[in-house]
Amino acid sequence: MHNIDIGLVEMTLDVTKYAIDRITRTEPNLGVPKKEEELRELVGETITPKGIGGEKAFELWNTILSKAAVSIDHPRHLAFVPASPTRASIMFDLVTSASAIHGAYWMEGAGGIFCEIEAMKWLVSLTQMPKGSFGVFTSGGTAANLSAIVAAREYWRSKDSQNEELKGLIITSDGAHSSVKAMAKVIDAEILLIRSEEKLLGTELQTTINDLDSLQRQRLFAVVATGGTTNAGIIDDLDGIASVCEKEGLWFHVDAAYGGGALAAPSVRHLFLGIERADSVTIDPHKWLFTPYDCGAIIYKNPELAKRAHTQEGSYLEIFKDDGAVGFNPADYQIQLTRRVRGLPLWFSLAMHGTDMYSEAIETGLQLALDAGKLIEERTELELVRDPSLSCVLFRRKGWSPEDYREWTYRNHKDGVALVTPTKWKSGETFETVARFCFISPHTTQKDIQRILDTMK
Ligand SMILES: *Cc1c(COP(=O)(O)O)cnc(C)c1O
């Protein structure tokens, strides 16, 4: 290991300078990937017995490797779900790493976990879930969904010993995120997708449940609704679904990984009516709450049920359950043991800016989607596929084939103009390839949108 020497101090300054430059740049490089062989040719061997030296490795990162990755906080990165971490949260991401805090147990991580608790209280307040509801930060929406569904399944099995032998069944809609299906695979549960053109309705859910045979009905333990589909920003009929789940005694999970940020936006908050009745809610601060990767969150109405499912036992862990170490242990409420205090960057940014600034920044994303809708309607060659929902806009270039969209995507990316990708939208029985914008960054402008639309003439 190196001693603290003058070279290391210089290296620290260089790296800090890089970080400062990166977070103060208003328009970062868009970045374009290269083939792995190409990159290897450009950088040569980097892992050697003696090391290539920090200066060299850093230069390779700075000049070659960092440019081969997309900066997804670029104002014209409107593909997938973009990101736009605040400078405050990025700075505190650096602090989180430098502080070397183990975030699994209060005994070790108290100060950091305290900050996570403060930030989590705000998230819980956005959902308006009842007193006693609480949650933890996870690596993302996938881990949050998995943690919730494991808690749901364990609860279902604990209610009736017959259930222990049964394969669980989950109902969701075909608009649900791919991670919901992936997570069902992980826990070997079956998933039943309700086909819905738009939002999933409570009445559709009820009909589906009524059509199950008696064994299927016994195997059914959870319903997953989406609070803002990733593809189109559609929010399911959460209130109607909550009523069905209550009546049928089912765990009601809301996946608001992308849309959850909009709970802080007064103009659309009413669309989430019913989320307060959920048993668990996923929200990804690393999507629409301006936090660096990776930061998801899972909130439970009854955290005790999550604890029953997730507490890990082990002789070397017993001290953490001791009275002398009493406090909130994030490890008990999700699938991960060792964890960074990944809610800390969000806490610092919230503390610094206040929650009003978050509401304003999210409203800006919503407004950008409405503005984009108008700009699209003004152009004869373009038309909206559906009205903008949350910050998603689906639109078509009249006469374009899937191949045209594909070429357009690559051309814009290669030219450094923008990264905007196509998606598919069902029209009747078939799927149509269309263009999609998703707005997160409050730094995107109407000019940016026009510039992209100009590439579709
Ligand atoms: C992004 C997303 C996920 C997955 O979250 P990760 O943070 O990528 O693991 C799950 N559900 C929805 C609705 C999402 O938008």
The residue among 353, 368, 390 that closes a domain is: 353
Do 269 and 330 sit in the same domain of this protein? yes
Number of domains the chain is built from? 3
Confirm whether 286 is domain-assigned: yes
Angle among Cα 96, 100, 106 to the nearest 5 degrees reads 90
Confirm whether 257 is domain-assigned: yes
Q: Is the pLDDT of residue 346 over 60?
A: yes
Give the per-residue pLDDT at 3.
55
- Report CA(257)–ligand 1 centroid distance (Å): 5
- Report CA(81)–ligand 1 centroid distance (Å): 9
Confirm whether 191 is domain-assigned: yes
Give the per-residue pLDDT at 325.
67
Do 123 and 237 sit in the same domain of this protein? yes
Split at pLDDT 50, 70, 90, the class of 178 is very high
User: CA 39 → CA 26, 49, 57, 71, 144, distances in Å?
Assistant: 27, 21, 14, 18, 34
- Report CA(157)–ligand 1 centroid distance (Å): 27
417 DSSP assignment = S
Give the per-residue pLDDT at 5.
76
Handedness of CA 110, 115, 121, 127 (dihedral sign): negative
Q: Is the pLDDT of residue 6 over 80?
A: no
- Report CA(144)–ligand 1 centroid distance (Å): 9
Round the average pLDDT of the chain to a whole number and report it.
95
Angle among Cα 407, 411, 413 to the nearest 5 degrees reads 120
- Report CA(413)–ligand 1 centroid distance (Å): 24
Q: Is the pLDDT of residue 1 over 70?
A: no
CATH number, domain containing residue 369: 3.90.1150.170
Give the per-residue pLDDT at 196.
86
Q: Is the pLDDT of residue 446 over 90?
A: yes
Give the per-residue pLDDT at 169.
98
- Summarised one tens digit per residue, pLDDT across range 187-208 is 999 999 999 879 999 999 999 9
Give the per-residue pLDDT at 324.
65
- Summarised one tens digit per residue, pLDDT across range 17-46 is 999 999 998 888 899 999 999 999 999 999
Using a pLDDT cut of 70, give the percent of the chain over it.
Answer: 98
Confirm whether 79 is domain-assigned: no
Do 291 and 366 sit in the same domain of this protein? no
Confirm whether 421 is domain-assigned: yes
Do 316 and 331 sit in the same domain of this protein? yes
For a pocket test of ligand 1, which of 258, 280, 295 has the largest count of ligand atoms closer than 8 A to its C-beta?
258
- Name which residue sits closest to atom 5 of ligand 1, judged by CA: 141
Is the whole-model pTM more than 0.95? Answer: yes
Do 343 and 359 sit in the same domain of this protein? no
Do 219 and 301 sit in the same domain of this protein? yes
Q: Give the bridge partners for 135, in sequence order.
A: 299
Confirm whether 83 is domain-assigned: no
Give the per-residue pLDDT at 149.
98
Confirm whether 435 is domain-assigned: yes
Verify whether ligand 1 is closer than 6 Å to residue 142 (CB atom). yes
Verify whether ligand 1 is closer than 6 Å to residue 175 (CB atom). no
Give the per-residue pLDDT at 151.
98
Verify whether ligand 1 is closer than 6 Å to residue 230 (CB atom). yes
Which of the two residues, 437 and 429, has the higher pLDDT score? Answer: 437
The residue among 353, 370, 398 that closes a domain is: 353
Q: Which atom of ligand 1 is nearest to the CA of 145?
A: 10
- Report CA(139)–ligand 1 centroid distance (Å): 11
Verify whether ligand 1 is closer than 6 Å to residue 226 (CB atom). yes
Verify whether ligand 1 is closer than 6 Å to residue 177 (CB atom). yes
Q: Is the pLDDT of residue 7 over 70?
A: yes
Q: Is the pLDDT of residue 168 over 90?
A: yes
The C-alpha atoms of residue 361 and residue 256 are separated, in whole angstroms, by 18
Do 204 and 259 sit in the same domain of this protein? yes
Q: Is the pLDDT of residue 94 over 60?
A: yes
Half-sphere exposure of 409 (CA within 13 A, CB side): 19
What's the whole-number mean pLDDT along residues 267-273? 98
- Report CA(176)–ligand 1 centroid distance (Å): 10
Do 308 and 228 sit in the same domain of this protein? yes
Token duo for residue 338:
């060792």
Do 339 and 362 sit in the same domain of this protein? no
Q: Tally Cβ neighbours within 10 Å of residue 374.
A: 12
Confirm whether 114 is domain-assigned: yes
Verify whether ligand 1 is closer than 6 Å to residue 281 (CB atom). no
Token duo for residue 242:
């909550």
Considering only 168-172, 283-287, 323-327, which range has the smallest mean pLDDT?
Answer: 323-327
Considering only 30-34, 145-149, 284-288, which range has the smallest mean pLDDT?
Answer: 30-34
Do 25 and 173 sit in the same domain of this protein? no
Do 133 and 276 sit in the same domain of this protein? yes
The residue among 334, 353, 372 that closes a domain is: 353
Which range marks the domain in which residue 381 is found?
A: 355-454
- Name which residue sits closest to atom 12 of ligand 1, judged by CA: 257
Do 312 and 449 sit in the same domain of this protein? no
